[in-house]
Each structure stands twice: as C-alpha cells, then as structure tokens.
Amino acid sequence: MNPRHAAALSPVMTLKEVAEYLHIHQNTLYKLIRLSEIPSFKIGSDHRFRRNEIEEWVAEKQLPQERSK
C-alpha cells in the first residue's frame, strides 16, 4: 500500500497533514492549538489530531456562514 494512501485513511493526523487539509500555514495551526481553538492532543512533544474531530470542527466553523445566506 502507498504510504500516502495509508496516511489518508489514518484516524490520527499530524500537524503537517492538518495544515495541508485546512490549507493554512503550520504557524497558524500552532496558534489555534495554543489558543485551544482546535481539538488536538500531544504524544510526547508532537501534536496529533483525530480526523473525525477535525472534520466536525470544520463543519461547526461553516455553520454560521451557511446561516447568513
């Protein structure tokens, strides 16, 4: 199996994967983590993200925009 394909199926994402998924700079993601605005957890010194929590977070962020239409 292609490692990129396996990573795409993983329920846990790295900081780089989430930044790419959200199309934001990694520094912006660090700021969101520091402000506790995005769900994350740490393994040692590395931040990790549960894919389903990130997808839910994105959906919640889209709701106010959809209501204003």
Q: What mean pLDDT is reported for the chain?
A: 87
Q: Is the pLDDT of residue 1 over 60?
A: no
pLDDT tens across 7-20, in order? 556 899 999 999 99
**CATH number of the domain residue 52 falls in:** 1.10.1660
The structural domain count of the chain equals 1
Tens of pLDDT, residue by residue over 33-63, are 999 999 999 999 999 999 999 999 999 988 7
Token digits for 3? 């490692």
Angle between helices 15-22 and 51-67 (to 10 degrees): 20
Give the domain range for residue 49.
3-67
